[in-house]
Amino acid sequence: MKKLILPLLALFLLLVACSEDNTESQDEEETVTPVEVEGITQGDLTIEKKFYGRSMPETTSPVIPPTAGEVEVLEVKKGDQVEEGDLLATIQSAEGMGKIDVEASADGEITTLNAQEGGMVSTSDPLATIVDLDDLLIEVTVTAEDLPLFTDNEEADIHIPSLDKTITAQMGYAASVPNDTGLYPVELKIENEDNDIKPGMAAVVRLPEDIVENALLIPTAALVENGGETFIYVVQDDQVSEIPVTVLESQSDMTAIEAEVAEGDSVVVKGQLTLTDGGQVSIEKEEQ
């Protein structure tokens, strides 16, 4: 009986050992974390400040009839594009001046029309209003502290969220005295070549507020914060090192740092939240 028990016990121990080896092997495989990386660069980081405003016409031209009278012929309707000198209406003068033509006073779009054929017009109210949509203003109000950002720059980037469009604006009028809210009105001029920007659309003005020169730059997504500390994971030979960093300035996409790293090092930008110092990784996306 003892002769039978000893071989069975040996077989049992062998099976347990093999099972433990398989478990350890699986654990080792499970510790390899897939990550995406990008390279650390060196350069200048421009810190932008955003201001919010709206577009508005730069030029609005009311068309005042030269005489009061009855509208015999109306040549336009609201929304029509006209050029300066185009015929808008013919009026039979009530002042004995005969038939008088009313012409467009500027290029643009007819945005209001206060006349109809057979109706009466006067010299005190506009027959129509023409708005120039080729050149628009972006109007914002800023604090006294931010006013120098507009007076010290000649142009700014303007983003129109509803169109997902960014264009360059020229600095225009900047008030030297505040309005009733204590803020300073500022106007920027834009060319609306496609006429797709309409008056009243929201606009975001972006201006450089500060520049961090010759700094190490990483994608902001690489930053990890834990226990009041900020660090990144740098990859070398499929192993990561946890590197503490000091953030100098940060934007939504890029961050300037001080750290014991070098330009060209590979930093983890995705998958880092489950990593630990010395962990094994597999790079799913090569550096761009």
Query: 């031209």: which residue's tokens?
Result: 61
What proportion of the chain, given as a percentage, has pLDDT over 90?
80
Q: Enter the CATH code of domain 29-46+212-285.
A: 2.40.420.20
Distances (CA, A) of 19 to 6, 25, 30, 32, 36: 20, 10, 16, 21, 33
Tell me which DSSP letter residue 198 carries.
P
Residues 6+ apart with CB under 8 A from 85: 103, 104
Residues 6+ apart with CB under 8 A from 11: none
Domain boundaries, the chain: 29-46+212-285, 60-131
With respect to CATH, is domain 60-131 assigned 2.40.50.100? yes
Q: Model confidence over 249-269: pLDDT tens digits? A: 998 899 999 999 999 999 999
279, two tokens: 């962990």
pLDDT at 252 (0 to 100)? 85
Q: Is 15 helix (H, G, I), strand (E, B) or coil?
A: helix
Q: Rounded to an integer, what distance in angstroms lies between the CA atom of residue 146 and that of residue 209?
A: 9
Q: Model confidence over 189-205: pLDDT tens digits? A: 999 988 899 999 999 99
- Mean residue pLDDT of the chain comes to 89
Task: Reply yes or no on whether the pLDDT at 71 is more than 60.
Answer: yes
CB burial of residue 240 (10 Å; 0-12, 13-18, 19+): buried
* pLDDT interval class at 288 (50, 70, 90): very low
Q: Rounded to an integer, what distance in angstroms lies between the CA atom of residue 249 and that of residue 45?
A: 8
- Are domains 29-46+212-285 and 60-131 of this chain identical in fold? no
The whole-angstrom distance between residue 31's C-alpha and the CA centroid of its chain comes to 39
